[in-house]
């Protein structure tokens, strides 16, 4: 039997089982040939590398819509050659390899030529829906490894827990806990694949991680050597967790948000026992139904027993009241698509979140439970948590970088302090744009004790930018940023793969900045520690187990939302 006909039959059978549309069926019939092994390779790569921006169903969000009818039409304009639809594989392969100026990273140093060819053909096939994941499924996945009564009643080590760093080792599915005082690796633990964030309990005792395979792990820092004491699956893909922080609820609850299925789940904070699952499928701010509204980010309010839950595709911000889990109350606030990461202003009253595909930042007043502002920014803001400082001319500001533009935007934020009253006219305005050498910024960071603002560019296609960070002097923002070549300072061997400098993170006292040198899976990587005052290297932390380090989360700063 002709291979193309056989593969098309397999795809058509899958589509029929999933109840796909006639349009999708037609697209599958015209898709380029793939073997079952190639389809499985494409599925794995898409999940690991692409779904975060383009969606499990490929409907797009931060990234473009990649449904078959669009990928082929966009690639080759439906040009007919010899009576057969000209496929988009060649052009799609170039885009995957070289990236785009809009913020998509180049994959020519991450994927092989054969893998790029597979992906160019894979995204022309009909997308498949993963299975749903219920409370019953969560309960079946739940592992209580060390019950609460068998855990220490006090800290058993002499480690300064405030200055411990939780470091994601992305491609190994592990987390390194590093003593920030001695710069020694304290413990390396198995976690979910590509941990997106680590969060701290209100007490600072527990570290929670969530990976792109939907696995949440609960790590107890009070043991002599930290141990994973519980784990649970939220679904097939997840990005966000946070704890209950309001007085009287410390360490009581954990909330986790899924990319697939689109829902959030509430668990016991010290055991991860699942308590409730809430779907986020629904209507967008434009009034359209969306089948895949993913939970992009979650933060815990400091002034109410509430979580701020940001739904990517709908542009809806949910204030979830956890004072009564059984009779859950939720306030829905309309903002803009597509919501992503964000952070608190300096007062911890306002939460600012990037609606990155709308090129806006939404600000929520958690005291009144209403939208405070929608601020227009440059293309594709991506703040991480953002950065807070007092601008010498405009007063308190919160900063965000951009994936799609070469600036860091400073947004003036309200303050109830008497000495800041003169700055009120600037509230919720972009008051300054600090020039960067290109787009591709993921994180900006400062500290109340620092006079610097650090900005990375790991998604920039140019090696000289991706391997460096740029440091602004907060006492004189008219000066150009100082370029710090982190990859060179790491002293690692040159490789074909970019050694991306990513995610500046301050020590608890604000004196040091830690930056990951994110190399390839087969290359040595490192953390480079800088003196924030002098911008000079203090220490390079490397180890054979230090593979693809990305995000780093200082216990004290993460526990108290200091950025």
Q: Catalytic site residues? A: 50, 53-54, 104, 340, 382
Q: For 46-84, give one letter per residue: b (16+ CB within 10 A) or e.
A: bbebbbbbbbbbbbbbbbbebbbbbbbebbbeeeeeeee
What is the number of other CB atoms lying within 10 angstroms of the CB of residue 132? 12
Query: Any residues with CB less than 8 A from the CB of 247 and at least 6 apart, and which?
Result: none
Are 410 and 434 in contact, with CB atoms under 8 Å apart? yes
Are 175 and 194 in contact, with CB atoms under 8 Å apart? no
326 CB burial (10 A radius; 0-12, 13-18, 19+): exposed
Pairwise CA distance, residues 254 & 244, whole Å: 6
In the 8-state DSSP scheme, what is residue 70?
H
Query: Any residues with CB less than 8 A from the CB of 166 and at least 6 apart, and which?
Result: 175, 176, 177, 198, 207, 209, 552, 553, 555, 558
Q: Number of C-alpha atoms within 13 angstroms, CB side, residue 290?
A: 28
First to last CA, the chain: 61
What is the number of other CB atoms lying within 10 angstroms of the CB of residue 438? 16
Are 262 and 250 in contact, with CB atoms under 8 Å apart? no
Pairwise CA distance, residues 527 & 165, whole Å: 11
Angle ∠(260,245,188) on CA atoms, nearest 5: 65
Pairwise CA distance, residues 65 & 292, whole Å: 13
What is the number of other CB atoms lying within 10 angstroms of the CB of residue 392? 10
The CA-atom distances, in angstroms, between 81 and each of 78, 117, 345 are: 9, 21, 56
The CA-atom distances, in angstroms, between 332 and each of 62, 88, 369 are: 22, 41, 9
In the 8-state DSSP scheme, what is residue 14?
H
Query: Any residues with CB less than 8 A from the CB of 135 and at least 6 apart, and which?
Result: 265, 274, 276, 277
What is the number of other CB atoms lying within 10 angstroms of the CB of residue 278? 16
SS3 letters across 354-416: EEHHHCEEEEEECCCCEEEEEEECCCCECCCCCEEEEECCCEEEEEECECCCCEEEEEECCCC
Pairwise CA distance, residues 66 & 78, whole Å: 16
Where do the H-state alpha helices sit in 496-561?
555-559
Pairwise CA distance, residues 190 & 139, whole Å: 20
What is the number of other CB atoms lying within 10 angstroms of the CB of residue 263? 23
Q: How far is CA 22 from the centre of its chain?
A: 35
Sign of CA dihedral 232, 234, 237, 239: negative
């Amino acid at each position: 039997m002709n291979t193309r006909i056989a593969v098309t039959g397999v795809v058509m059978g899958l589509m029929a089982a999933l109840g796909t549309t006639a349009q999708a069926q037609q697209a599958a019939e015209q898709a380029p040939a793939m073997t079952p092994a190639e389809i499985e390779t494409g599925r794995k790569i898409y999940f690991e590398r692409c779904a975060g921006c383009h969606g499990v169903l490929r409907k797009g969000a931060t990234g473009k819509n990649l449904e078959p009818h669009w990928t082929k039409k966009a690639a080759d304009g439906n040009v007919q050659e010899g009576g057969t639809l000209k496929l988009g594989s060649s052009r799609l392969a170039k885009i995957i390899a070289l990236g785009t100026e809009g913020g998509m990273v180049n994959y020519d140093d991450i994927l092989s030529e054969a893998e790029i060819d597979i992906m160019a053909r894979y995204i022309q096939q009909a997308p498949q829906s993963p299975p749903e994941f219920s409370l019953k499924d969560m309960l079946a996945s739940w592992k209580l490894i060390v019950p609460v009564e068998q855990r220490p009643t006090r800290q058993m080590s002499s480690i300064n827990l405030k200055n411990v760093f939780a470091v994601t080792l992305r491609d190994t599915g592990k987390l390194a806990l590093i003593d920030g005082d001695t710069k020694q690796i304290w413990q390396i633990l198995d976690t979910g694949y590509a941990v997106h964030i680590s969060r701290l309990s209100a007490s600072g005792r527990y570290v929670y991680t969530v990976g792109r395979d939907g696995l949440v792990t609960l790590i107890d820092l009070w043991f002599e050597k930290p141990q994973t004491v519980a784990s649970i699956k939220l679904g097939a893909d997840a990005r966000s967790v946070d704890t209950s922080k309001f007085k009287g609820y410390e360490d009581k609850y954990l909330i986790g948000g899924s990319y697939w299925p689109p829902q959030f789940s509430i668990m016991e904070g010290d055991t991860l026992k699942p308590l409730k699952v809430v779907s986020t499928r629904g209507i967008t701010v434009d009034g359209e139904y969306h089948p895949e509204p993913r939970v992009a980010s979650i933060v815990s309010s400091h002034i109410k027993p509430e979580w701020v839950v940001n739904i990517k595709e709908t542009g809806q911000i949910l204030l979830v009241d956890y004072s009564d889990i059984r009779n859950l109350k939720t306030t829905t606030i309309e903002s803009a698509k597509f919501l992503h990461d964000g952070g608190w202003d300096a007062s911890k009253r306002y939460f600012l979140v990037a609606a990155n595909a709308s090129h806006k930042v939404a600000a929520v007043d958690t005291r009144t439970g209403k939208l405070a502002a929608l601020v227009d920014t440059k293309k594709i803001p991506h703040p991480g948590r953002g950065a807070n400082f007092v601008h010498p001319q405009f007063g308190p500001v919160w900063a965000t970088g951009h994936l799609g533009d070469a600036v860091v935007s400073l947004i003036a934020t309200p303050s109830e302090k008497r000495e800041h009253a003169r700055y009120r006219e600037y509230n919720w305005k972009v008051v300054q744009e600090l020039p960067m050498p290109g787009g591709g910024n993921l994180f900006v960071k400062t500290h109340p004790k620092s006079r610097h603002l650090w900005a990375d560019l790991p998604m920039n296609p140019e090696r000289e930018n991706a391997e460096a960070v740029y440091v602004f002097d907060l006492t004189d923002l008219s000066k150009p940023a100082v370029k710090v070549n982190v990859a060179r300072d790491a002293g690692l061997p040159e490789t074909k793969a970019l050694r991306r400098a990513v995610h500046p993170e301050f020590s608890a006292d604000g004196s040091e900045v830690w930056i990951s040198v994110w190399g390839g899976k087969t290359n040595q990587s490192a953390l480079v520690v800088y003196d924030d005052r002098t911008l000079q290297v203090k220490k390079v932390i490397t180890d054979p187990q230090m593979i693809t380090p990305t995000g780093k989360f200082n216990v004290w700063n993460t526990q108290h939302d200091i950025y």
